[in-house]
Structure 1
Amino acid sequence: MYMRVSTFKTAPDGSGEPTDETVQRVLAIPGCKGFYYLSGDQGKALALTLWADKDALDGSRDAAKAIRAESAAEQRMEILGVEEYEVLRQEGTG
């Protein structure tokens, strides 16, 4: 499994929370296994997406970039960075 982490600076008067439509567009990309959005202190937010494998991660880049740019413009956010990771271990309860 792989993860893409997008970091944003939100507008002073907003959370940057993505719309349901944005979330559904991301989840519809082939190989997408999950979406998380985190809002932190001082206007920083993270969008985390999980991908089935390296091919899915690689194949999603263009669509994800377009959705990220549209969402950032819509929410008046600055994109601070995008990083990709291989998930080496996953644990959970439930």
Structure 2
Amino acid sequence: MMFWYDHDVSGWGWFAMTASMILFWALIITAAVLVFRALNRPHEHTSAPVAPTPEQILAQRLARGEIDEDEYGRRLSALRKGPDPGTA
């Protein structure tokens, strides 16, 4: 019967248990916050920006008023026809 009363936890044992429990929960909460932030972060570098096509640039210039409809038509037909084989 005396065996059970002789094995209590000392002050340092209580301190170690308390510190380890606080550290355990701090690590769990920190990991949860980091996972939550990583999942909710917008993915900025998933794809490279796509450059506009020459036809889109031409349409933008027409919309801004830099060129008129006649010039737009000429340049668009030149773009769609391709380079002249005799000039290269």
TM-score normalised per structure 2: 0.25
Tell me which protein shows more helix as a share of its residues: 2
